[in-house]
Structure 1
């Protein structure tokens, strides 16, 4: 079996953009991963757009929310890693 990078080093956008339409339609797990990743990207864009000034009282909460988003990205990478190891 070929060596695969750990989940932290998986580039989900590159991985998912290289998937063919046929593979995506044929694999429910891959479709779910794609959907979850796209939703995550929307949430991340919204989070970035709402960035308050550092001195603003909501900045700390914004950082905490961002950490949760990046934890979610790590979870998606772990799912992709386990998916890649299936072959």
Structure 2
């Protein structure tokens, strides 16, 4: 999986590191973030979206990233969108 590093939260401690990458093979964003905690995860799992089952599938995860990383996520989105252009 050829990952392209986009950015890391500059305001976190050295051993904590919400990070944004782009998987250049699949054109997907790859995000590392904080675990949401049981209460927030339960709220997400209980959320109803028409046409979808409640819950969080075993192969999916809920994560939190700080709002100060929005510009990094936008940059990653730009990379993925450019890759889709022939």
Instruction: Looking at secondary structure, tell me which structure has more strand per residue.
Output: 2
> What TM-score results when the alignment is normalised by the length of structure 1?
0.30
> What TM-score results when the alignment is normalised by the length of structure 2?
0.30
Query: Which of structures 1 and 2 has the larger relative contact order (alpha carbons within 8 angstroms, sep 6+)?
Result: 1
